[in-house]
Amino acid sequence: MLRQLKIDPEFQSKIPPLTFEELNLLETNILEEGRILSPLIVWNGLIVDGHNRFAILKNHPEIKYTVLEKEFDNRYEAIVWICKNQLGRRNLKPEQFKYLLGQQYEAEKLATNFNGNRFTSGDETRCGQNVHTYKPERTAERIARENNTNERYVRRAGQFSKGVDAAEEVSPGIKQEILTGSIKPTERAVAAIAKASLEERPALVAELCKPKEQKKAGKKEKVVSPKIETKATETEAMKDVGPTELLAEPLSEPAVPAPVKIDNKQLLEIAASRYHAKRRATGSDMLCEIEVAADNLKQRWEQTFQYYPDLFTEPDNRAAVAKIAQSLMDYLKEVEERTE
């Protein structure tokens, strides 16, 4: 039965990965118990919950386990279930919570409802039936209610999750850094990646990796024009003040500052200072991209070797790993020669 189960990369990517310590603790508990208490949840032979337990079973096939088959109309409903299951069972970092909420929101918009009609992909002003309820409630509203947040946060979470996935396509491994808080980009900066063209994305991803000090250094100081408060403005503001408060204030009229005179040349300089031309990323911008990619390669290889030791023990696997490693070394040698 274990050989018939498969891991779907998209399903697995929705589940926040365990830390090295958490993985060791899980494996220790399972070995001490001699069996896996929670069943592996599968759909059409694909694991939807229990990826870490499945990896441990591959190394310890003597461990007893059970499998629970779930039924979904399509893979989008499976993703919705995965996200809801993770949101309700683990202590999540704020970034992980936001990502899962956004993934659930985007998947529900694509899922087929009970009548076979699809959700509106973007225009939710038309209310339709949801996957899990017949109440004509908008998807974002229902998800917000179920998670004790607001509709606006759910929509922003959807944009954030798409930005994280777009960044991961450009730089594999950066998703883990964002969701664990290793780097702390703004929500707007992450969401902008999904909205940008494919050519612009590498530069935006490189910007996420920069230290805060370096980001600040690259920004031009904004010119703030003085605000002129008029007597009419003061009068409007006083409409919301009660009688007692009016009596407590001095009766003398506030001084009105003289108008600031700015000639045409100054106006042009101010306009120019507020315009930031787009530019392509340079080599120095992308150095962090290369460094992150190298670190991710080592981490992912070591994690794979840890949970699949037969990569070194079985002759065919060992030969395949050696071939891949040799190909990588040949490429790195070529890169090294370019730098000489």
Q: Could you report the per-residue pLDDT of 251-306, keeping only the tens digit for each? A: 444 444 454 454 555 555 655 554 445 555 566 656 666 765 676 677 668 767 76
DSSP code at position 236: H
E strand spans, the chain: 6-7, 40-43, 46-49, 67-69
The model's pLDDT over 78-106, given as tens digits with 9 standing for 90+, comes to: 999 999 999 987 678 899 999 999 999 99
Give the H or E element holding residue 315: helix 315-339
Q: What percent of the chain has pLDDT over 90?
A: 39
Mean pLDDT of 107-111: 88
Which residues make Cβ contacts (< 8 Å) with residue 54, sequence separation at least 6? 2, 5, 7, 40, 47
Is residue 154 within 8 Å of 143, Cβ to Cβ?
A: yes
Q: Which two tokens stand for residue 219?
A: 């920004």
CA distances from 144 to 112, 139, 270 (A): 20, 9, 43
Is residue 195 within 8 Å of 210, Cβ to Cβ?
A: no
Q: CA–CA separation, 255 vs 245, rounded Å?
A: 20
Which residues make Cβ contacts (< 8 Å) with residue 16, sequence separation at least 6? 86, 90, 92, 93, 96, 100, 179
At residue 210, the pLDDT reads 79
Task: Please report the sign of the dihedral spanned by the C-alpha atoms of residue 144, residue 150, residue 155, residue 157.
Answer: negative
Q: pLDDT at residue 127 above 60?
A: no
Confidence of residue 195 (pLDDT cuts 50, 70, 90): very high
Is residue 256 within 8 Å of 284, Cβ to Cβ?
A: no
Residue 69 has φ and ψ, to the nearest 5°, of -90, 125
Give 136's Cβ-side CA count (13 Å radius): 4
The model's pLDDT over 14-37, given as tens digits with 9 standing for 90+, comes to: 988 887 888 889 999 999 989 998
The model's pLDDT over 36-62, given as tens digits with 9 standing for 90+, comes to: 988 999 999 999 999 999 999 988 989
Q: What is the pTM of this model?
A: 0.58
The span from the first CA to the last CA of the chain, in angstroms, equals 54
